[in-house]
Amino acid sequence: MKNKKGLLIAVLVLSVFIILLILFRIVGIPSFLTHNSQKYQTSVVDRGQVFVPIDATGIVEPESEVILLSPLNSIILKINKEPGSRVKKGEVIIELDPVPTREEIEQINDQLEIKSNSLERSRLEGQMSRIDLDYNVEVKKLKIVSIKAQLADEEQLLSVGGISSAKIDETKQNLVLAEQDLEVVLKKNAIRLNQLKTEENGLNLQIEIQKKQLADKLEMLKKLDIKAPSDGIILSISGKVGEKVGTDKMLITMSDLSTFKLKGSIDEKYSEYIKTGNPVFAFPENEKLNGSIGNVTPVVADNKIQFNVHLENSNNPKLIPNQAVRLQVLKSVKNEVLRISSDNDFNANMEQTIYVLDSGNVVPRTVQFGIKGAGYQEILSGLKEGEKVILSDSPFIWSSKKAGKQK
């Protein structure tokens, strides 16, 4: 009898326990029933980037080389810097002989003065010609007026029989000839005025051409001091003092320190991820810079692959030549995805039951996880933005885990 009663009690207790487990599984475990319920690690679901990195190393190098050419035929007068020297923007590296260019400038100035005098003389002659032409036209007009007055007088005399009609015909003919003479003079004057204007325009054009030549020579005179276009290091100098150099002859090669790239190195076992265009993070003095892989060296040396990294912010002040920089090559990247902190007990790329905090209760949730990267893990389904996830896979081990900061 006692055995049956004990068995019944055990069955009832077990049933209650199973029912409680089912209820907790469905509606969650009240937070007051969990040990240190306010101290376990959590992470709020947000949206952003998740990436899986591979560590690499890099060395800061100038992004490009600059080649400086001779601007014209000249002679090297002075070399102020030697290969290997650091230069600041605007520093004179080589001085070319300016004497021939200065002589050409003096010749052009002399020619300009002559042309300016010719233009002034042409303008004065044009004014005199216009006066003569205008005077000639006025004389012709006055002659026509005189003939017309004569004709009117003769017509009155004819009406009283004081003159013959032949005389009037002669006067009329003289009037026609005078008017034709005026028309010819006006046409000749127009042609002559156009000639004067053309001559003046031609002189103005010659002056403008020589002014441009003068400006080019003055600009060339400034270029005879070969200056550094930016901060950099001189790599080589061609020629020596006293040597004659031709136009566009290469005089200087130097590195440009205004922008930089990185020379990366990584173990050859990761070669499948070292492709042109793949994203890279660089950390000069712990500042994060975005970049991408450029050229990849096909030859493997010491089990390492070499590659260039071009940075979005290639003139960042923390980039220093020959500086060693930590790199992260991203073998997989996803942007604007749901994510939680990767400091958790969950596996990547699989479905798991986890626990979330919902109105003070610990509620189980089936979640499909994606990639697990540096700092964050991707959520494919089962969670919404803003929910708070407990970063442990079982509520029964919360009390044994070291309490951490809520995230």
Q: Mind listing the pLDDT tens digit for each residue in 70-107?
A: 998 889 999 999 988 889 989 999 999 999 889 989 99
For tokens 């005025």, name the residue. Answer: 193
Q: How far apart are CA 154 and CA 161, in angstroms?
A: 10
Residue 100: partners with Cβ closer than 8 Å, 6 or more residues away: 74
What does the domain layout of the chain look like in residue ranges?
25-41+342-400, 54-62+262-333, 66-98+232-253, 100-223
DSSP-derived 3-state class of residue 34? coil
Q: How far apart are CA 291 and CA 279, in angstroms?
A: 6
pLDDT, mean over the chain: 83
Of 16, 8, 210, which is closest to residue 106 (Cα–Cα)?
Answer: 210
Band of residue 66 on the pLDDT scale cut at 50, 70, 90: confident
Q: Cα–chain-centroid distance for residue 338?
A: 34
The DSSP line for 334-371 is: EEEEEEEES-SSPPSSSEEEEEEEETTEEEEEEEEEEE
Q: How far apart are CA 101 and CA 261, in angstroms?
A: 40
- pLDDT given at position 374: 84
Position 403 pLDDT exceeds 50: no
- pLDDT given at position 4: 62
- Locate 109 and state its tokens: 């100035």
Cβ atoms of 296 and 323 closer than 8 Å: no
- Locate 260 and state its tokens: 């930089």
Highest CATH level, class, for 25-41+342-400: mainly beta
Q: Cα–chain-centroid distance for residue 254?
A: 22
Could you check whether 25-41+342-400 and 66-98+232-253 share the same CATH topology? no
Which architecture, in CATH terms, is 54-62+262-333? Answer: Beta Barrel (2.40)
Band of residue 35 on the pLDDT scale cut at 50, 70, 90: very low
Which architecture, in CATH terms, is 66-98+232-253? Answer: Beta Barrel (2.40)
Position 45 pLDDT exceeds 80: yes
Q: How far apart are CA 381 and CA 368, in angstroms?
A: 5
Position 16 pLDDT exceeds 70: no
- pLDDT given at position 261: 92
For tokens 């204007």, name the residue. Answer: 197
Beta strands in 6-164 (DSSP E): 29-30, 42-44, 46-69, 74-79, 86-87, 92-96
- pLDDT given at position 188: 82
- Locate 310 and state its tokens: 């071009």
- pLDDT given at position 27: 46
What is the percent of the chain where pLDDT is above 70? 87
Cα→Cα distances 298→74, 294, 311, Å: 44, 12, 21
